[in-house]
């Protein structure tokens, strides 16, 4: 089994790459930071793992990565992220554009690049890492949540197209995950603000998400898990907000 994991330079992606490697798969790890990829390879010991630096927000990156790696059995679209937590009317337009590029366009184009080969071979599994933010709105979630809603519906629509082809598609939607760069990136490197997000609660770990990826990947080929929503026990839902005079 050959699995490609995007965003494998840190957090959830790195944990998924390691977990699938531990499961005995051949792993292709991609990300923007070459040094981090080398560290990952050194950590797992070198064999059965290859790394390619790729910036999937660039045009042609998906096609060129697909040509470089050749056929794969599992595509894990993990790369993505949130920039900013400002209300929509104050949010940065370039943050919005960047979020659409990495969470929407890159996921769609990379999937599109690998699908024909998977369908031709009559087998394959695409695992998208969505987010609970794609289902539940929260203040400041604006384009990030909307982009993850795209991932959810894209996954379901892929399922509609791929039924009967032998290619399976799953959207795994985690809530708060600690030990990643997610909040540091969202708050543009403000580590104090990032740490405050997880203060006094017990978030999911990247390994928790990797465990679910491993579970989905190990299922018999007749089974397609459409969507998995997962949250820390300490996370929940807010009530409706009402503006009162
Ligand atoms: C991020 C999940 O709950 O921190 O994808 O918004 S949450």
3-state secondary structure of 174: strand
228-239 as b/e: b if 16+ CB within 10 A: bbbbbeeeeeee
Q: How many CA atoms lie within 13 A of 234 on its CB side?
A: 12
Residues 173-185 pLDDT 10s: 999 999 899 999 9
Both tokens of 82, joined, read: 């949130």
What is the average per-residue pLDDT within 135-152?
98
81, pLDDT greater than 90: yes
pLDDT at 148: 98
pLDDT at 59: 84
Taking the centre of ligand 1 as the mean of its atom positions, its distance from the CA of residue 69, in whole angstroms, is: 31
- The residue count of the chain comes to 245
Determine the residue of 131, 196, 237 to mutate for testing ligand 1's pocket, defined as the one with the most ligand atoms within 8 A of the Cβ atom.
131
Ligand 1 neighbour 131 (Cβ under 6 A): yes
> What confidence category does residue 33 fall into, taking pLDDT thresholds of 50, 70 and 90?
very high
Ligand 1 neighbour 133 (Cβ under 6 A): yes
Q: Pick the residue whose CA is nearest to atom 4 on ligand 1.
A: 176
pLDDT at 46: 74
| Sign of the dihedral through C-alpha 134, 137, 138, 142 | positive
Taking the centre of ligand 1 as the mean of its atom positions, its distance from the CA of residue 182, in whole angstroms, is: 9
pLDDT at 236: 97
Q: Pick the residue whose CA is nearest to atom 2 on ligand 1.
A: 175
Please report the domains of the chain, with CATH numbers, ordered by start residue.
2-177+204-230 (3.40.50.720)
Active site residue 144: yes
pLDDT at 36: 94
> What confidence category does residue 218 fall into, taking pLDDT thresholds of 50, 70 and 90?
very high
Taking the centre of ligand 1 as the mean of its atom positions, its distance from the CA of residue 11, in whole angstroms, is: 14
Q: Is the pTM of the predicted complex or chain greater than 0.75?
A: yes
68, pLDDT greater than 90: yes
């Amino acid at each position: 089994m050959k699995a490609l994991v995007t965003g494998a330079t840190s957090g959830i992606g790195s944990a998924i790459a390691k977990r699938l490697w531990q499961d005995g798969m051949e792993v292709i790890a991609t990300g923007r930071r070459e040094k981090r990829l080398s560290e990952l390879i050194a950590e797992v010991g070198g064999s059965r793992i290859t790394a390619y630096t790729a910036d999937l927000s660039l045009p042609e990156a998906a096609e060129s990565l697909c040509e470089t790696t050749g056929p794969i059995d599992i595509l894990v679209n993990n790369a993505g992220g949130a920039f900013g937590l400002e209300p929509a009317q104050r949010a940065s337009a370039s943050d919005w554009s960047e979020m659409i590029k990495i969470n929407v366009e890159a996921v769609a184009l990379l999937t599109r690049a690998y699908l024909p080969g998977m369908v031709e071979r009559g087998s394959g599994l695409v695992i998208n890492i969505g987010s609970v933010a794609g289902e539940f709105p929260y203040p400041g979630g604006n384009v990030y949540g909307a982009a993850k809603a795209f991932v959810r519906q894209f996954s379901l629509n892929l399922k509609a197209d791929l039924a009967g082809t032998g290619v399976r598609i799953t959207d795994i939607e985690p809530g708060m995950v600690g030990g990643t760069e997610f909040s540091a990136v969202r708050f543009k490197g403000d580590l104090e603000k990032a740490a405050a997000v997880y203060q006094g609660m017990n978030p999911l770990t990247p390994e928790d998400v990797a465990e679910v990826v491993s579970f989905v990947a190990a299922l018999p080929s007749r089974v397609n898990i459409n969507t998995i929503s997962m949250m820390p026990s300490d996370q929940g839902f807010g009530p409706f907000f009402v503006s009162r005079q």
